[in-house]
Structure 1
Amino acid sequence: MTPTLRELTPEQALKHLELLFTRHPDGLLQGDHPALAPGPGDEMAETRPYVVGDDVRRMDWNATARTTVPHVRLTLADRELTTWIVLDASASMDFGTARMEKRDLAVGAAAAVAFLTERAGNRLGAIFSGSGPGGHPQGRRGTGPHGIRRIPPRTGRQHLLTILRTALDRPRVAPGASADSLADALGVLRALPDRGGLVAVVSDFLETGWERPLRAVARRHQVLAIETVDPRELELPAVGLLTVMDPETGRRREVPTHARKFRDRYAEAALEQRALIKRTIHRAGAAHLRLRTDRDWVRDVVKYVEDQRRRTGGGAA
C-alpha cells in the first residue's frame, strides 16, 4: 500500500512522491509514459474503429466510408506540452476518514500529473483556489499565501517541485469561510492566452458552478478531471447519533446512523450524486479519473494510464 503523506515533512513528502513516479517498485511507470488524456496533437498516427466515449471530432470519415465501420483518427502528442494543474483547496478537501485526507490525495494526484508529463521542453503551471486572510478571497491572480494563486508554466524539475511544495503548504480553509471556488480557478485559466495543452483539474466536485467553466476550458484544452472521494461520503457507519458538519458552510447537524433506512437513503443519494458528477464531467468533454482516500491511489493512476495506452493504441505521450 502507498504510504500516507500526513506524517512526512514537506521535504520527505516531495522525495517520496518523486520516487513513486520515477522508480516505482513494480516498474509500471518506468520509461516512456502513456498519455494521461488523448492528445493533444496534430501529427497523424493511425486510425482504429470508433468505441463509445471517443471524441467525435476525431472521426475519420474516409476510413468510415471505405470500411462502412465508424473509425477515429489517432494523433501523436505534440513534442512540447503545456500542462496546467488546477487544484481545488476548498474546505471540503480538508476532509478524510481513511488513510489520508482528500487534500493529501489531491497533492498525490498533482504529483502524478506532473511527473508523468515531465519531459525536456514540456512546461508545467498551476492554479490553486483558496481563501484570503479571515476567510475573504483575494484577487484572482493574487500571489500571496491565500486566495487564488497562479504559478506560470515553466520547464525544469525544480519548478515542478516548487509547484508540489506550494500544494503541500497551502493553508486550510476555516469551515464556513468565504473562499474562491473551483469555478473561479477555472475562470482564471480560461482567461489566459495560452495555446491548447493538458489541464488536470483535481477536486471533489461537491460545490456547484464548475460545470460551465469546465466545458469552456475543455474547448481549448485536453482536460482530465481527477475526482477525490472519501468512503464516508459514500456511506455512513452505524454509530448511533452522529454530529456531522458541512465544511463549506460550517453548519452542524445530528444524523441517526443507527437507522438502517437512513443509511440506505444516504448511500443511494451519494451514488446518484457521484454518477451525476461523472456524467457532467463527460458532457463537458473531459476525461474522468476517480481516486479514493481508502485505496492505493498510485495503482489506480497506473491502471488509468495503462487503460489510456490500450485505448490509444499503445502510444506514449
Structure 2
Amino acid sequence: MDTSELLKKVRKIEIKTRGLSNHIFSGEYHTAFKGRGMNFSEVREYQFGDDVRAIDWNVTARFHHPFIKVFEEERELTVMLLVDVSESAAFGTVKQRKKDLITELCAVLAFSAINNNDKVGVIFFSEGVEKYIPPKKGKSHILLIIRELLSLEPKKNGTNIRDTLRFFNNAAKKRSIVFLVSDFLAAPHYQEALTIAARKHDMVGVHVYDRHDKELPPAGLIRMQDAETKQLRWVDASDRKVQEFYTRQFQEHARYCREAFIKSGAELLSIRTDEDYVKALQAFFSKRI
C-alpha cells in the first residue's frame, strides 16, 4: 500500500469512526467508564450524614474533632488497546475481514477516549509484541494509531495472548481501561496473565469472529491453509465429520475464552464481522451504566 492510498484509507476511517464517536458513543463511553478511579482531594470537618469510614483518624486526633477525607473522581483515564494483528485476522468471508472490523472498533474507541480527554495507547501483538505505542492525547496521535492499524504487517506467525498480557502488566504503571481485541483463535493458557491484569485494570475482551470461523461451508474438496502456521492440506468440506470437527475446534477456543474472562472478573463482548458493531457497542456501554 503506497502512502497516498494509505492516507486516503486513514481519512475514510477517521470520517466514519470520528462521527460515530462524536454523535453516538461520547456520552455512553463517558458514563460507562467514569468514576473508575478516585483521587484524594482534601480533608474537611465531619458533617452529619457523612460516611464514618471516610474519617481521617490522624487529623481527627490532632484537632480533637472529626475530619473526613474527600475524594474526587479521576477525570483523566488511560485507555489501552491490545490489538491482535496475527495473520488469522486477515480472514473474512461475508461483509469484511476481521482486520477491517478490528480497525474500525479500535478507531471508534480511540476517538471516544480523546473526546473524553483521555490518553490512548496500543500494543500490537501476534506471536509476540509487534509494536508498543505509549498512551498520549490528541487527534494526531489517534491518526498515527489508525495508520498503524491499517498498515502494520506482523513479523511473526501465531498468536500469544499470555505473553502480551505479561508485557502489558509490566509496562502499565497506572490503572487503565483495557480493550483486548482478538479472534482468540490461539493456544490457551492466558488465564493467569488475564487474572493479574484484571485485578489492577478495567479489562474488556472484544472477541471478533467470522461466520466461517465457526461453520465450514460444504464446498467439497478444497485446499486450506492455516493463516498462522502456513500449513496446507486438502480437506473434504462436505464431510459431516470434518464440519463437526471444525465447529468443535472453534467452540473449544470460544469456551476457554469465556471461562477465562469470567474467572478473572473481566468482561467479554463478541462481535461477528457481518453484524452491526454500533449496536453491539451501544448495548455493551448501556449494560455498564
TM-score category, normalised to shorter length: 0.7 to 0.9
C-alpha distance in 2 between matches for 1:278 and 1:291: 14
Contact kept in structure 1, 2:81 and 2:106, CA below 8 Å:
yes
Give the superposition deviation at 1:170.
Answer: 1.1
Letter in 1 for 2:142: L
Give the superposition deviation at 1:269.
Answer: 4.1
Partner of 1:149: 131
Letter in 2 for 1:290: S
- 1:12 is paired with a residue whose SS is helix
Partner of 2:16: 16
Partner of 2:195: 215
Q: Which one is further off, 29-38 or 183-192? A: 29-38
Give the superposition deviation at 1:178.
Answer: 4.1
C-alpha distance in 2 between matches for 1:248 and 1:202: 17
Q: Does residue 81 of the first structure (1) align with residue 70 of the second (2)?
A: no
- 1:118 is paired with a residue whose SS is helix
Q: Does residue 158 of the first structure (1) align with residue 176 of the second (2)?
A: no
Give the superposition deviation at 1:276.
Answer: 2.2
C-alpha distance in 1 between matches for 2:275 and 2:133: 30
Cα separation, partners in 2 of 1:180 and 1:203, compared to 1, 3 Å: closer
Give the superposition deviation at 1:268.
Answer: 4.0
C-alpha distance in 2 between matches for 1:294 and 1:198: 26
Partner of 1:185: 164
Give the superposition deviation at 1:37.
Answer: 5.7
Letter in 1 for 2:216: L
Contact kept in structure 2, 1:82 and 1:123, CA below 8 Å:
yes
- 2:114 is paired with a residue whose SS is coil
Equivalent residue pairs, number: 252
Letter in 1 for 2:138: G
- 1:117 is paired with a residue whose SS is helix
Q: Does residue 289 of the first structure (1) align with residue 269 of the second (2)?
A: yes
Give the superposition deviation at 1:182.
Answer: 3.1
C-alpha distance in 2 between matches for 1:76 and 1:256: 62
C-alpha distance in 2 between matches for 1:258 and 1:120: 51
Contact kept in structure 1, 2:194 and 2:260, CA below 8 Å:
no
Contact kept in structure 2, 1:80 and 1:121, CA below 8 Å:
yes
Q: Kindly provide the CA deviation profile for residues 92-148 of structure 1, in whole angstroms up to 9, marking residues without a partner as x.
A: 1111112111111111221232123334542111111257xxxxx7xx5xxxxxxx2
Contact kept in structure 2, 1:125 and 1:154, CA below 8 Å:
yes
Q: Does residue 273 of the first structure (1) align with residue 265 of the second (2)?
A: no
C-alpha distance in 2 between matches for 1:30 and 1:149: 28
Q: Kindly provide the CA deviation profile for residues 77-99 of structure 1, in whole angstroms up to 9, marking residues without a partner as x.
A: 63110111111111111111121
More helix per residue: 2
Q: Which one is further off, 284-293 or 188-197? A: 188-197
- Give the RMSD, CA atoms, in angstroms: 2.8
Q: Which one is further off, 100-109 or 205-214? A: 205-214
C-alpha distance in 2 between matches for 1:109 and 1:205: 16
C-alpha distance in 1 between matches for 2:220 and 2:282: 39
Cα separation, partners in 2 of 1:35 and 1:171, compared to 1, 3 Å: farther
Cα separation, partners in 2 of 1:265 and 1:179, compared to 1, 3 Å: closer
* Structure 1 unaligned residues grouped into runs of 5+: 1-5, 44-61, 63-74, 132-136, 141-147, 310-317
Letter in 2 for 1:15: I
Contact kept in structure 2, 1:120 and 1:155, CA below 8 Å:
no
Q: Does residue 307 of the first structure (1) align with residue 280 of the second (2)?
A: no
Contact kept in structure 1, 2:76 and 2:117, CA below 8 Å:
yes
Give the superposition deviation at 1:230.
Answer: 0.7
- 1:124 is paired with a residue whose SS is strand
Q: Which has the larger radius of gyration?
A: 2
C-alpha distance in 2 between matches for 1:271 and 1:39: 36
Give the superposition deviation at 1:262.
Answer: 3.3
Contact kept in structure 2, 1:37 and 1:224, CA below 8 Å:
no
Q: Does residue 298 of the first structure (1) align with residue 250 of the second (2)?
A: no
Q: Does residue 246 of the first structure (1) align with residue 242 of the second (2)?
A: no
Letter in 2 for 1:93: A
Cα separation, partners in 2 of 1:39 and 1:184, compared to 1, 3 Å: farther
Give the superposition deviation at 1:215.
Answer: 1.9
C-alpha distance in 2 between matches for 1:112 and 1:273: 27
Contact kept in structure 2, 1:36 and 1:113, CA below 8 Å:
no
C-alpha distance in 2 between matches for 1:279 and 1:20: 31
C-alpha distance in 1 between matches for 2:211 and 2:201: 31
State, as a whole percentage, how many aligned pairs show the same letter: 27
